[in-house]
Amino acid sequence: MKKIVYVSFLVVSGFINAQNFQGVAVYESKTSTSDITSNFRGNREITPEMQKQIEQNMKAMFEKTFVLTFDKTASTYAEEEKIEAPGQQNGMRFMSSMMGGGGTHYKNVKDKVFLIDREFAGKEFLIKDSLPKLDWKLTGETKQIGNYMCFKATALRPVSQSDFRNFRRKKEEGKKEEVQAEDKKEDRNTNFMDQWEMPKEIEVIAWYSPDIPVNQGPENYWGLPGLILEVSDGKTVILCSKIVINPKKKKEIKAPKKGTIVTQGAYDKIVAEKMEEWREMGRNGGGFRISR
Written in H, E and C, the secondary structure of the chain is CHHHHHHHHHHHHHHHHCCCCCEEEEEEEEECCHHHHCCCCCCCCCCHHHHHHHHHHHHHHHEEEEEEEECCCEEEEEECCCCCCCCCCCCCHHHHHHHCCCCEEEEECCCCEEEEEEEECCEEEEEEEECCCCCCEEEEEEEEECCEEEEEEEEEEECCCCCHHHCEECCCCCHHHHHHHHHHCCCCEEEHHHHEECCCEEEEEEEEECCCCCCCCCCCCCCCCCEEEEEEECCEEEEEEEEEECCCCCCCCCCCCCCEEECHHHHHHHHHHHHHHHHHHHHCCCCCEEEC
What pLDDT is recorded for position 84?
Answer: 55
User: Which residues touch 239 (CB under 8 Å, ≥6 apart)?
Assistant: 27, 28, 145, 229, 230
pLDDT digits (tens, 9 = 90+) for 25-83: 999 999 876 665 555 555 566 677 766 666 666 666 778 899 999 999 999 999 987 65
Residue 168 contacts residue 35 (beta carbons within 8 Å): yes
pLDDT digits (tens, 9 = 90+) for 188-245: 445 555 666 777 888 999 999 999 999 999 999 999 999 999 999 888 999 999 999 9
Alpha carbon dihedral 242, 243, 244, 246, in 10-degree steps, equals 160
Q: How far apart are CA 180 and CA 186, in angstroms?
A: 10
User: Which residues touch 31 (CB under 8 Å, ≥6 apart)?
Assistant: 62, 63, 165, 235, 236, 237
- Looking at the chain, how many residues does it have? 292
pLDDT digits (tens, 9 = 90+) for 233-291: 888 999 999 999 999 999 999 999 999 999 999 999 998 888 888 777 766 665 544 33
Q: How far apart are CA 155 and CA 130, in angstroms?
A: 18
- Phi/psi at 203 (nearest 5 deg)? -85, 135
Confidence of residue 14 (pLDDT cuts 50, 70, 90): low
Alpha carbon of residue 135 to chain centroid: 20
Q: Which residue has the higher pLDDT, 197 or 177?
A: 197
Sign of dihedral through CA atoms 144, 220, 210, 4? positive
Across the range 157-161, mean pLDDT stands at 83
What pLDDT is recorded for position 262?
Answer: 97
- Phi/psi at 93 (nearest 5 deg)? -60, -40
